[in-house]
């Protein structure tokens, strides 16, 4: 996949647009711009079987969040609490992210 500019950042609150976790909200844990994917806390979980080791003597089945496509998530604006697209405004020297609904800067 071609690398594109990611408008999502670690710590953003997003909503899932499609799939088994549709309409659920979560916080971004990790952004993978090379793959065009994001990892969202508590969503798109996969079961991983781990053996008992010295560090974790219990072992068992662990739920871990897996990456999902960045096109399947939409940012939640902290101002209006709605799913929104992101516009890039240049105020001063640096570009900032802004909400398309209310116009509030997100950064």
Using one digit for the tens of pLDDT, what is the confidence trace for 55-104? Answer: 888 889 999 999 999 999 999 998 889 999 988 888 778 888 888 888 88
CATH class of 1-76: mainly beta
In degrees and rounded to multiples of 5, residue 34 shows phi and psi of: -65, -35
pLDDT score recorded for residue 69: 94
* CA gap 51, 35 in Å, rounded: 30
* CA gap 24, 5 in Å, rounded: 24
How confident is residue 50, by pLDDT bands cut at 50, 70 and 90? very high
- What residue spans in the chain does CATH classification 2.30.30.30 cover? 1-76
Residues 22-37 have pLDDT tens digits of 999 999 999 999 999 9
**Could you tell me the pTM of the whole model?**
0.82
- Most distant pair of Cα atoms in the chain: their distance: 55
Q: Which helix (H) or strand (E) holds 57?
A: none
């Amino acid at each position: 996949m071609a690398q594109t500019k990611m408008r999502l950042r670690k710590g953003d609150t997003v909503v899932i647009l499609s799939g088994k976790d549709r309409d659920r909200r979560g916080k971004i844990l990790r952004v993978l711009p090379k793959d065009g994917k994001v990892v969202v806390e508590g969503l798109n979980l996969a079961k991983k079987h781990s053996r008992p080791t010295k560090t974790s003597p219990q072992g068992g089945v662990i739920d871990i969040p897996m990456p999902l496509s960045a096109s399947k998530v939409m940012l939640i604006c902290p101002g209006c609490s709605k799913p929104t697209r992101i516009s890039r405004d240049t105020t001063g020297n640096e570009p900032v992210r802004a909400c398309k609904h209310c116009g509030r800067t997100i950064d």
